Amino acid sequence: MFRLKRFGRTGSLMMNRQKSFESHRPTLYLVPTPIGNRQEMTERALKILESVDCIAAEDTRNTRTLLQMYGIHTPLISHHEHNQAQSIQQITDRLAQGQSLAVVSDAGYPLISDPGQNLVRRILEQGYPVVSVSGANAALNALVASGLDCHHYVFYGFLDHKSSHRKKELERLATIPFTMIFYEAPHRIEATLKDILEVLGDRNMCLARELTKVHEEYLRGTVSEILEVAASCKGEMVIVIEGAVKKEDPDMDQLAQKVLKYAETMRLKDAAAQVSKEYNVSKNQLYQMALQQKDN
Ligand code: SAM
């Protein structure tokens, strides 16, 4: 798991054209592994894991168990958040010696809320090819079955653990009109959904849990509906949530009526100010329209 948040640009990438299947240079392969269902290991991924000189794994014990299932005996080295300074050096040394390597995380794609980001940048800076292999990814599995718009979407990964920080992050996302995807741990799901309800409102969402495993479940509904059962939801989960829906332009005639209704208990000017604040429309225009309606 990799939780370091990076915002903004990460520096310039050197112009480079890589023809992956024409290169005979030592290569770094990014190989996804199953997110639960062990059958979701592709033939190509297995061939690459078998043929490389070494596999850099987030957790060598987990990866060894996976490799044993397929009779693969490629040597493993460890590459995770806390040893990356040394492991990146080790990997670049091996590439310099002419070796090709694969990088894997515990589940899904390396780099996607998992280690590998700094490694890939360093290897590209050194001019070696970096090749990705297709495979499992929890975010996309959840998105395509969510029932929400898949034309445009934002993958956010994990929100902050602290509610106050999390709400700030959500505030920055509140106006984005695209479907949003978050990863979350089961012990935080209730608190996170409460913050989502407070900041983003009661939107449509899907909670996809235990994807590809025997207890796989999709909970589709509004945030408040899912919140009612969230505390009982266990396992790994992905939140997919509707993007901001553009508010219709308010009907000014109806708002002027509302001003007149409010004006039964307050001054017309105050009533116009009140409705203008509620609907974020011009106070003067409302006042004039209410006056006209009153006179008719
Ligand atoms: N690299 C992975 C990927 O490509 O999806 C993500 C790794 S991230 C450390 C782990 C998070 O992914 C979990 O907390 C959960 O939010 C999500 N996840 C992973 N496997 C999942 C599954 N089988 N079902 C639902 N969510 C899953």
- In 3-state terms, what secondary structure has residue 261? helix
On whether both 156 and 226 belong to a single domain, the answer is: yes
pLDDT tens for 234-245 read: 999 999 999 998
Share of the chain above pLDDT 90, in %: 84
Any domain includes 71: yes
- For residue 139, the ligand 1 atom closest to its alpha carbon is 5
What proportions of the chain, in percent to the nearest 5, are helix, strand and coil? Answer: 40, 15, 40
On whether both 288 and 205 belong to a single domain, the answer is: no
- What average pLDDT score do residues 259-276 get? 92
Any domain includes 247: no
Q: Residue 68: its pLDDT value, please?
A: 97
- The stretches of 111-208 forming alpha helices (DSSP H) are 117-125, 138-146, 163-173, 189-200
- In 3-state terms, what secondary structure has residue 211? coil
- What average pLDDT score do residues 226-235 get? 95
Whole-number average pLDDT of the chain: 93
Instruction: Find the 140 Cα to ligand 1 centroid distance in Å.
Output: 10
Q: Is 105 near ligand 1, meaning CB less than 6 Å away? A: yes
On whether both 104 and 123 belong to a single domain, the answer is: yes
pTM of the predicted model as reported, rounded to 2 decimal places: 0.83
User: Domain limits at 77?
Assistant: 3-132
Instruction: Find the 107 Cα to ligand 1 centroid distance in Å.
Output: 7
CATH number (domain holding residue 48): 3.40.1010.10
Q: Residue 4: its pLDDT value, please?
A: 47
Please report the beta strands in 32-164, taking only residues with DSSP state E, as ranges in sequence order.
54-57, 76-78, 101-104, 130-132, 153-158
On whether both 233 and 260 belong to a single domain, the answer is: no
Q: Residue 1: its pLDDT value, please?
A: 52
pLDDT tens for 114-172 read: 999 999 999 999 999 999 999 999 999 999 999 999 999 999 999 999 999 999 999 99
Number of domains in the chain: 3
**Ligand 1 pocket test target in 30, 134, 192, 238 with most atoms within 8 Å of CB:** 238
Distances in whole angstroms, Cα of residue 88 to Cα of each of 40, 222, 242: 28, 44, 38
Predicted confidence band at 248 (pLDDT cuts at 50, 70, 90)? Answer: confident
Nearest residue to 119 via CA among 130, 133, 108, 135: 130
Any domain includes 113: yes
Residue 7 scores a pLDDT above 60: no
